[in-house]
Amino acid sequence: MQKKQILWADDEIDLLQPHIMFLQSKGYDVDTVTNGDDAIAKVSENNYHIVLLDEMMTGKDGLETLQQIKDSSPQTPVIMITKSEEESLMEDAIGQKIDDYLTKPVNPSQILMACKKILDSQKIANEKRSVQYARELQQISTLLLNPLTEDEWIDLNLKLCDLDVELDTLAEPAFREILYDQRRECNVEFGKFIEKKYKNWIWDRRESPLLSVDIVKNYLIPELKKGSKIVFIVIDCMRLDQWLTLETYFYPYFNITRDYYYSILPTATPFSRNAIFSGLFPEEIEKKYPDLWSTDDEDESSLNKHEKELLEQNFLRNGFKPKQEIKYLKIMNNENAANLEKNINSYLDSQVLAIVLNFVDILAHSRSDLPILKEIAPDESAFRSLTKSWFEHSPIFNVLKAIGKSDHLLFITTDHGSVRGMRGTKVLGDRETSTNLRYKYGRSLKVDKKNAIYVKNPEDFKLPRRGINTTYIIAKEDYYFIYPTNYYKFLNYYKDSFQHGGASLEEMILPIIRLEPKT
């Protein structure tokens, strides 16, 4: 392996021979110079791995030398060595992008550790993390040998998401493939778990984990009854791993408490988001508020158009009557977001402000239709990165900063996640069958029951019947439904697209976050 090259610039370099010999004994090549001009010349001629730079030299001092080194070779790490502990000096050096600094007198071990921290820390961290990563993956496989509870599935999914997000900074592509295989194995068992447990959850709520219908009752209403002001944001189609990449942006402004819940089935906007706002299952909404239940899945503008009214009714059923009108906004594009940013203070006059953000859902759908987006975001890691980039540069970030300076509690959640559909499965149905890829309802539906949850009686899942002999099928794992006609054409078209509506860890286990402004 090539030795690491160090340049040490100090006008008293002869006095540092013991330090230099110690570095050489540890496998480093060390060149020496006694002034800034020679240091600048050496850096321009050689690719040094690190420069040790004395701050007080005859002729050009350390700061001036540092500036010229960084101008010609900005990627070269520099450690400043100084006799002074003046704060202004350190600020000047840090402003010129030193990578570390040491205060004289220094011993050989200090120099070695400073060099290793810069040159080897990533390698050491990667090696140790790889060992730990392999151990954690083995632990996940062991967990699957026994049935898991609802809480254990949440913990398992969080571990998978944490590992996945951490891999974004770990240059080990082999682990990424292992993790994808591990997640697929988990989803096989999770599909069986949901098929066995879900009906019991919705009919015996004492045995149920937190579901979509519980969010408003369990989180918003207790705070409102205490007199708190609330901002409630639902980010459509946001996965838990996407939230984990965004959460760090909130640290300077909020104290954060993160909980988790299960989305109802199907994990699709007309069902799961209406359930959040109403506190009711779809069949209950249809029976109790027939005028507020939309069944037209072909008209996107008709979906979830009564969320404000459903939220108001949810409040009243649970004993809370707002003193003023609830404010509700749906943000569909950047223009809507910019208008919200401009007028956020007027919206914060209300005790309750509810906001639906559609960007992540639009991004997931657009990725299927625009090849350039699939190239930009070919996998989950890149999809997270794209979501993060949108958030960082969106007016929504400024809106959240404004909320962080207000006296409002902020709750953020999502209605469902999405899964990367990788396998097609054939489905048979008549012309009236719905068009969704991860769930369908209609008459005489036929599908391989290993790949889907078959709901013969919609009432079992508290779903609208939608006509005589209507059944539902809900995809498991990473399957998506394809008709036999032009099967291979559509199989390839929809493969590797982000979809929702089915039963998977990514779609069903979701965050509900309480954010209290630090001010």
The domain spans of the chain are: 4-119, 123-202, 212-419+507-517, 423-495
Dihedral angle sign, alpha carbons of residues 373, 376, 382, 387? negative
> Using CA atoms, how far apart are residues 517 and 519, in angstroms rounded to an integer?
5
Q: What token pair was written down for 330?
A: 């749906």
Query: CA neighbours within 13 Å on the CB side: how many for 370?
Result: 10
Q: Which residues pair with 410 in a beta bridge?
A: 231, 515
pLDDT digits (tens, 9 = 90+) for 27-73: 999 999 999 999 999 999 998 999 999 988 888 888 899 989 988 88
* DSSP for 81-140, written as a single string: EES---HHHHHHHHHTT-SEEEESS--HHHHHHHHHHHHTHHHHHHHHHHHHHHHHHHHH
Q: What token pair was written down for 427?
A: 């489905």
The predicted pLDDT at position 369 comes to 75
Amino acid at the residue 251: Y
Q: Helix, strand, or coil here: 229? A: strand
The predicted pLDDT at position 91 comes to 61
**For the chain, how far is it from start to end, CA to CA, in angstroms?**
53
Q: Which one is the CATH code of 212-419+507-517: 3.40.50, 3.40.720, 3.40.198, 1.10.3470?
A: 3.40.720
The predicted pLDDT at position 89 comes to 57
Would you call the peptide bond into 322 cis, given omega within 30 degrees of 0 as the criterion?
no
pLDDT digits (tens, 9 = 90+) for 15-26: 999 999 999 999
Amino acid at the residue 101: Y
What is the CA 467 to chain-centroid distance, rounded? 39
Contacts made by residues 196-199, CB under 8 angstroms, sequence distance 24+? 197/150, 198/265, 198/453, 198/461, 198/503, 199/460, 199/461
The predicted pLDDT at position 118 comes to 84
The series of mean pLDDT values per 10 residues for the chain, 519 residues long, is: 86 92 93 94 92 90 89 89 66 66 88 86 68 82 92 96 85 78 95 97 94 98 96 97 96 96 96 97 93 59 79 96 92 93 94 94 80 83 91 94 95 97 94 90 92 95 85 97 93 92 98 94
The predicted pLDDT at position 204 comes to 94
Q: Minimal CA–CA distance to 163: which of 145, 148, 141?
A: 141
The predicted pLDDT at position 298 comes to 43
Range 89-101 burial, b when 16+ CB lie within 10 A, else e: bbebbeebebebb
Q: Helix, strand, or coil here: 22? A: helix
The predicted pLDDT at position 179 comes to 87
Question: Are the C-beta atoms of residues 347 and 373 closer than 8 Å to each other?
Answer: no
**What pTM did the predictor assign?**
0.82
> Using CA atoms, how far apart are residues 373 and 286, in angstroms rounded to an integer?
37
What is the β-pairing status of strands 439-443 and 470-475? antiparallel
Q: Minimal CA–CA distance to 216: which of 302, 328, 310, 78?
A: 310
C-alpha torsion 274→280→284→285, nearest 10? -30
Contacts made by residues 430-434, CB under 8 angstroms, sequence distance 24+? 432/467, 434/297
Amino acid at the residue 172: E
Q: What token pair was written down for 378?
A: 């070919």
- The conformation of residue 34, written as its DSSP 8-state character, comes to S
> Using CA atoms, how far apart are residues 491 and 184, in angstroms rounded to an integer?
19
Q: What token pair was written down for 399?
A: 């809106």
**CATH 3.40.50.2300 fits domain 4-119:** yes
